[in-house]
Amino acid sequence: MSEKYSIKDVAALCGKKPFQVHYAISSGYLPEPTLRVANRRIFNEQDLAIAKKYFASEGMKEKKK
């Protein structure tokens, strides 16, 4: 069985705050996680990898400025 992560867990693993992950999802920069439990987003390993890739590339943009 694969790991499941909350938005707080994903934020911590990406080095961001939960509101930043939420903003990226609501703005369309990150896709919605496929699973919801009790109206909460539940991320799987694939969702986490996508988030890490997004925030890593966002960090590169910040460093270039």
Band (pLDDT 50/70/90 cuts) for residue 1 is low
Report which residue type is found at 33: P
32, burial (CB in 10 Å: exposed 0-12, middle 13-18, buried 19+): exposed
Residue 34's pLDDT is what? 87
Domain map (residue ranges) of the chain: 7-64
Residue 10's pLDDT is what? 96
- Strand-pair partners of 41: 36
- Asked if residues 2 and 35 have their Cβ atoms less than 8 Å apart, the reply is no
Residue 4's pLDDT is what? 95
Q: pLDDT, tens digit, for every residue of 3-61?
A: 999 999 999 999 999 999 999 999 999 999 989 999 999 999 999 999 999 999 875 56
Mapped onto helix, strand or coil, the DSSP state of residue 41 is: strand
